[in-house]
Amino acid sequence: MNDNILQNGYPSWEELKKFNRIPSHERFAKGPVAVIECIQAIPCNPCEGACKFGAICVGEPIINLPQLEEEKCTGCGMCVAQCSGLAIFVVDKTYSETQATVSFPHEYLPLPEKGQTVTAVNRAGEPVCEAVVVRVVNPERNDHTPVVTVAIPKEFADAVRGMVRLGMEKPADHSCCKDYVYKENDPDDLIVCRCEEVTVGDIRKAIAEGATSITGVKRRTRAGMGLCQGRTCSKIVTKMLSDATGKRGIDIPLDTARPPMKPVTMKILGGDDDV
């Protein structure tokens, strides 16, 4: 499991090359072209229908990776907003002598404006360079997926894939520690069943007394007998039983299901006179 996509949440350049995701140098030299950064076999094919020039092929089965026929691609960008995974970009390395443009989906408000300077980021979300917004397109057919095009120094054309969303320019310090007073708690006081306020200690005691099932714990402690009928705690009780007894999930049966499934007042319950 060393794949970057699984470890870090974005495809590495090597992965993109390996899956033949990067158009050729020759194609880049001709102008804007789609870069489809989709490297996992997931059931999805809207990109295929999005291209009016037939440049994207998924075929059957729909888990095939989309293949780009780069000669047919005009770099129009119709596919960018149609990709449900927001994984298609248009890169134009011929924008000017020194600059390239990158178009990416940007589903955040407020939208940047043409001419605005923004911070371009790479696939890892790290700031790469300043960028000038060239275009923001958001027609109805994009269905609320605006596509932003930014101009950047050419050397960053393969790196830039987005921008810092407006209002978030100063990235938060993720490791910062706030001042708070931490009081050591007794682990046995931790609540398991919130409805009936049954604690870890209560359940441990019930298991020590011989409870081997959710029902056994329920009868001894009332865990699962409250408003939510065990929707929240039964999974935790199962895990505690499993940890204590070594039983696996399959050996811990569900607790008995009985009506009423939902709390109901006696007035309503007694009201059906045509049964």
Q: Contacts with other proteins in 225-264 (CB under 8 A)? A: 229, 231-233, 235-236, 249-250, 253-254, 257-262, 264
Tokens of 79: 């596919």
Calculate ∠ Cα 17-18-19, nearest 5°: 90
Q: Does 266 bind other proteins (CB under 8 A)?
A: no
Q: Using the rule CB under 8 A, give the single segment among 22-30, 66-74, 130-138, 184-192 that binds other proteins.
A: 184-192
User: Is the preceding peptide bond at 187 cis, omega within 30 degrees of 0?
Assistant: no
Q: How far is the CB of 21 from other proteins (least distance, A)?
A: 12
- The stretch among 20-28, 67-75, 118-126, 147-155 that binds other proteins (CB under 8 A) is 118-126
User: CA 205 to CA 146: how far, in whole Å?
Assistant: 57
**Which residue's entry shows tokens 């043409």?**
114
Select 59 or 117, whichever has its Cβ closest to other proteins: 59
CA 115/CA 151 separation, integer angstroms: 10
What span, in angstroms and rounded, lies between the C-alpha atoms of 59 and 45? Answer: 8
Q: Which residue has the tokens 């069943």?
A: 193
Q: Which of 12, 40, 116, 138 contacts other proteins by CB under 8 A?
A: 40
Considering only residues 44 through 103, tell me which ones interact with other proteins, judged by CB under 8 A.
44-46, 49-50, 60-63, 82-87
Residue nearer to other proteins on the CB measure, 10 or 156: 10
Residues 125-144 that bind other proteins (CB under 8 A): 125-126, 143-144
Which range touches other proteins (CB under 8 A), out of 16-24, 66-74, 146-154, 156-164?
156-164
23/146 with CB nearer other proteins:
146
Minimum CB distance to other proteins smaller for 26 or for 273: 273
Q: 33 and 90 in contact (C-beta within 8 Å)?
A: yes
- Whole-number minimum distance, CB 62 to other proteins, in Å? 5
Half-sphere exposure of 113 (CA within 13 A, CB side): 0
Cis previous bond, 153, omega within 30 = no
- In the stretch 189-218, what mask flags binding to other proteins with x, by CB under 8 A? -xxx-x-----x------------------
Check if the beta carbon of residue 11 is closer than 8 Å to that of residue 123. yes
Comparison of 32 and 224: residue with beta carbon closer to other proteins? 224
Tokens for 85?
């995974």
Count of residues in contact with other proteins, rule CB under 8 A: 89
Of 167, 170, 169, 171, give the one whose Cα is nearest residue 111: 167
